Amino acid sequence: MLLSAEHISINFGSRQLLDNVNFYLNEGDKVGVIGINGTGKSTFLKVLAGVTEADAGRISRNPNVQVSFLAQNPAMDDNATVLEQVFLHFPAEFRALNEYEAKTMLNKLGLPDFDQKIGTLSGGQRKRVALAAALIHPADVLFLDEPTNHLDSEMVAWLEDWLRRFKGGLVMVTHDRYFLERVVNHITELSRGKLYHYEANYSKYLELKEQRAEMAEASERKRQSILRVEREWIMRGCRARTTKSKERIQRYEALLDQEAPETDGAVQLAAASSRLGKKIIELNGVTKAFDGHAVVADFSYNLLRGDRIGIVGRNGAGKSTLLHLIAGELAPDAGTVEIGATVKIGHFSQEGRELDLNQRVYDFIHDIADEVKTDEGTFSANQMMERFLFPGDLQSVPIGRLSGGERRRLYLLSVLMEAPNVLLLDEPTNDLDVMTLSILEDYLQGFPGPILTVSHDRFFLDKLAESIMEVRGNGEILRYTGNWSDWARKRRAEEAPARAEKSKTAAERPRERKLKFSFKEQREFETIDGELAALEAELASCQSEQERCGSDYVKLQELQERQTELETKLEEKTERWIYLNELKEKIDAQ
């Protein structure tokens, strides 16, 4: 056992975040912590990591167990460089031994300028520096709070593979459902101060949770049935009360006092939109550059009523810039953006509205609208706040008292209160809990107008997107039909010929003379080219088989997992090939 937490309780103002809960972490456990925003997931992680003291209870861990913690909003030294921040709390000897690995990690996370000052970085870049610092720590237990926020698709895939290969214990708060499906083997749900443990990944958890809910409902039906019978028995014999069985009356009273099973509240969304005319948004030859670098070049598109478009690309490629252009919030350097007269844009931006942390939740929403008309009827601002899980007591608190996820949910409500008929969403899934995400997805599928969404949430884009725009970062924007998985397969197919050519070149590389390797390295060097070629062929075959399996989801899932495994093997084998050839050059130079 790496860690045990027993009888932990934490009270935050009027909220009981943790109520006498227990948690145990064994070697090899990879735990995903989920729950509705504001229930205390980040606080729970801080308690386990030893950052925050619980009001009651005890945390025990082996004194030799090393712990690494990634906070949701990590504190950093603005005057430090990126590389200095990564090694800020480590001795010089550790940096000397691990600097190469840290630089490789930072490159993977899109931070190639190691000398850039922390104070000049965006919030997303700072979180990625903190992630690198957490991962470089030689830890037995990793505590990660929202590690996939601000990562693009390639970075998420890299981190997913890194964590799957991590041998220690892992506890992370995340709302990335593919992460929960592929990385974790335990799910802990925090609800109303209690913990519910499931030895399962995400899909298995959904099954087990449904079974638990059904059992609780069946138990409650049985209790109500017994109560009805016992109540009739007591009423029939009220005159002879003294002769009745005291034990039976006590059982009845005990059943009466028993609480019915509680269920978490769920965000209730109803489509609120204005009338939308034929002309929506037309982009003609739009170009936008920053410091001479074209982010969007000669781009044209006519937005249609039924569009469900996912926008993908590396961090910094210009995805948010494209949304700002479409919204008319940013003027193009060339070309035109024409917005129809009836268009009412709801722009859920990454930076969000400037929220006054001292303003009450109630006042913030009432300043936007007192009521909103939806397809379910007209709702007052108070009713809409309650549907978004802001009950009366939470409406009166300052916004600064809300958790990060609750603020994000409040901002989403503020966008929908304006009854838009075109939605532009920039990373809408960041900080939202999995329950709210599922309801948001259902709402968006029924939204009557077009939706464009920038997102790195693969599950979200698979469920919502019907076409993908890939922003390349060089001004080029490519369009693909299908969801995120369709786009990913097509991109791999496009890149396959280049990889095959690289492998072929490697296979044809001549050997000048016998190398002075160890026997094992000699054998490896002689066979590695063939192994690379075989892996390339197997990967190509796997991709072709995916194209042929049609709607067989189970088979497709198996093939995708196999593809991920092959790609990992190919990357490791390629790195080994580079090492052996560099070693050969050094031996030859002697």
pLDDT at residue number 239: 45
pLDDT at residue number 230: 62
Q: Share the mean pLDDT of the chain.
A: 81
Mean pLDDT (whole number) for 241-259: 59
Tracing tokens 């303003």 back to the chain, one arrives at 359
Indicate the pLDDT class of residue 546, thresholds 50, 70 and 90: confident
Rounded distance between C-alpha atoms, residue 118 and residue 249, angstroms? 69
What's the angle, vertex CA 538, arms to CA 535 and CA 544, rounded to 5? 140
Tracing tokens 């469900």 back to the chain, one arrives at 308
Question: How many other C-beta atoms can be found within 10 angstroms of the C-beta atom of residue 269?
Answer: 23
Classify 474 as helix, strand or coil.
Answer: coil
- For the chain, how big is the Rg over CA atoms in Å? 28
Quote the crossing angle between the two packed helices 153-165 and 123-136, to the nearest 10°.
Answer: 20
More confident residue, 314 or 504: 314
DSSP label at 117? B
Convert the pLDDT of each residue in 325-344 to its tens digit: 999 989 999 999 999 988 98
- Bridge partners for 286 per DSSP: 299
pLDDT at residue number 150: 81
- Bridge partners for 288 per DSSP: 296
Q: Which two tokens mark 206? A: 């959904």
Determine contact, residues 273/442, Cβ cutoff 8 Å: no
Rounded distance between C-alpha atoms, residue 11 and residue 138, angstroms? 33
Alpha carbon of residue 390 to chain centroid: 23
pLDDT at residue number 141: 93
Please provide the size of the chain in residues.
Answer: 590
Indicate the pLDDT class of residue 547, thresholds 50, 70 and 90: confident
Mean pLDDT (whole number) for 412-441: 82
Counting residues of the chain whose pLDDT is more than 90, the rounded percentage is 19
Q: Which two tokens mark 81? A: 């460089």
Indicate the pLDDT class of residue 384, thresholds 50, 70 and 90: confident
Convert the pLDDT of each residue in 108-151 to its tens digit: 998 889 999 998 888 788 999 999 999 998 889 999 999 988 88
Q: Which of 47-51, 577-581, 586-590 has the weakest average pLDDT?
A: 586-590
CA distances from 390 to 39, 141, 183 (A): 13, 35, 32
Classify 20 as helix, strand or coil.
Answer: strand
CA distances from 318 to 25, 153, 195, 292 (A): 41, 15, 41, 14
512 pLDDT exceeds 50?
Answer: no
Which residues, at least 6 apart from 265, have a Cβ–Cβ distance to it below 8 Å? 36, 389
Tracing tokens 């998420």 back to the chain, one arrives at 156
Q: Which two tokens mark 562? A: 């196999």
Classify 403 as helix, strand or coil.
Answer: coil
Determine contact, residues 35/41, Cβ cutoff 8 Å: yes
Read off the pTM: 0.63
Quote the crossing angle between the two packed helices 484-507 and 553-588, to the nearest 10°.
Answer: 30
Q: Which two tokens mark 586? A: 């050094």
Write the single-letter amino acid at 403: S
Q: Which two tokens mark 189? A: 């749900």
Convert the pLDDT of each residue in 143-172 to its tens digit: 999 998 888 888 888 999 999 989 889 999
Rounded distance between C-alpha atoms, residue 301 and residue 307, angstroms? 11
Indicate the pLDDT class of residue 514, thresholds 50, 70 and 90: very low
Residues 123-139: b if buried by 16+ CB within 10 A, e if exposed: ebbbbbbbbbbbbbbeb
Convert the pLDDT of each residue in 492-509 to its tens digit: 888 776 666 655 555 555
Indicate the pLDDT class of residue 414, thresholds 50, 70 and 90: confident
More confident residue, 220 or 12: 12
Q: Which two tokens mark 585? A: 């050059």
Mean pLDDT (whole number) for 460-480: 90
26 pLDDT exceeds 80?
Answer: yes
Q: What is the largest CA-CA distance in the chain?
A: 109
13 burial via Cβ count (<10 Å: 0-12, 13-18, 19+): exposed
Indicate the pLDDT class of residue 407, thresholds 50, 70 and 90: confident
Determine contact, residues 272/415, Cβ cutoff 8 Å: no
Convert the pLDDT of each residue in 27-77 to its tens digit: 889 999 988 877 888 889 999 998 888 889 988 888 888 899 999 888 888
